[in-house]
Structure 1
Amino acid sequence: MPIFAAADRTNLYYTDEGSGTPLLLLSGLTRNSDDFQYVIPHLRQRGDVRIITMDYRGRGKSDWADPATYSIAHEAQDALDLLDHLGVNSTAILGTSRGGLIAMALAATHKSRLIGVALNDIGPEISQTGMDAIRAYVGRNPAAQTYSEAANMRAQLMVGFANVPASRWHEEVHTHYRQTPDGLKINYDPRLSETIVPPPDTPLPDLWPLFDALAGLPICTIKGENSDLFTQVTLDKMLAKRPDMMHAVIKDRGHVPFLDEPAAVQTLNKWLDCL
Structure 2
Amino acid sequence: MASDEGFSDFFYTAADGLKLHARIYGETNAGGWPVVCLPGLTRNARDFHELALHLSSKAEIPRKVIAFDYRGRGQSDHDPDIGHYNAGGEAGDVLAGMAALGVEQAAFVGTSRGGLIIHVLGALKPTLVKAIVLNDIGPVIEAEGLAHIRSYLDRAPKPKTFAEAVDAQRRVHGVDFPALTDLDWARMVRAICRETEAGWLPDFDPALVDTLADIDFSKPLPDLWPQFDALDAIPLLAIRGANSKLLSVATLEEMGRRHPGMESATVEGQGHAPFLETGDLPGKIAAFLDRRA
Give the structure-2-normalised TM-score. 0.88
**How do residues 71-110 of structure 1 correspond to structure 2 at under 5 angstroms?**
71-110=86-125
Q: CA deviation at 1:271?
A: 2.2
Q: Deviation of residue 75 (structure 1)?
A: 0.4
Other-structure match for 1:204? 221
**2:34 counterpart SS class:** strand
Q: Which runs of 5+ in 2 are unaligned?
A: 1-8
The residue number in structure 2 matching 1:56 is 70
Q: Which runs of 5+ in 1 are unaligned?
A: none
CA-CA distance at 1:154 after TM superposition? 1.4
Which stretch shifts more, 145-154 or 243-252? 145-154
The answer (yes or no) to whether the contact 1:117–1:219 under 8 Å persists in 2 is yes
1:15 aligns with 2:23: yes
1:256 is aligned to 273
The amino acid of 1:68's aligned partner reads G
- Give the corresponding residue for 1:3: 11
* Superposition CA RMSD, Å: 1.7
State the AA in 1 paired with 2:17. R
Secondary structure, in 3 states, of the residue corresponding to 1:38?
A: helix
1:42 Cα deviation from its structure 2 partner: 2.0
Q: What residue is the counterpart of 1:160 in the other structure?
A: 176
Equivalent-residue separation in structure 2 for 1:74 and 1:260 (angstroms): 28
SS in 2 for 1:191: helix
- Segments of 4+ in structure 1 off by > 4 A? none
Partner secondary structure for residue 138 of structure 1: helix
Q: 1:28 aligns with which of 16, 29, 40?
A: 40
* Residue correspondences, number: 275
Structure 2 distance, partners of 1:124, 1:93, is 16
Percent of aligned pairs with the same amino acid: 37
CA–CA separation in structure 2 for the residues paired with 1:144 and 1:134: 19
Give secondary structure in 2 for the equivalent of 1:15.
strand
In the alignment, the residues of structure 2 paired with residue 196 and residue 7 of structure 1 have an alpha-carbon distance, to the nearest angstrom, of 25
**Greater displacement, 90-99 / 148-157:** 148-157
Is the Cα–Cα contact under 8 Å of residues 141 and 223 in structure 2 kept in the other structure?
Answer: no
Task: Determine whether 1:40 maps to 2:52.
Answer: yes
Q: Is the 8 A contact 1:139 1:192 kept in 2?
A: no
1:179 is aligned to 2:187: no
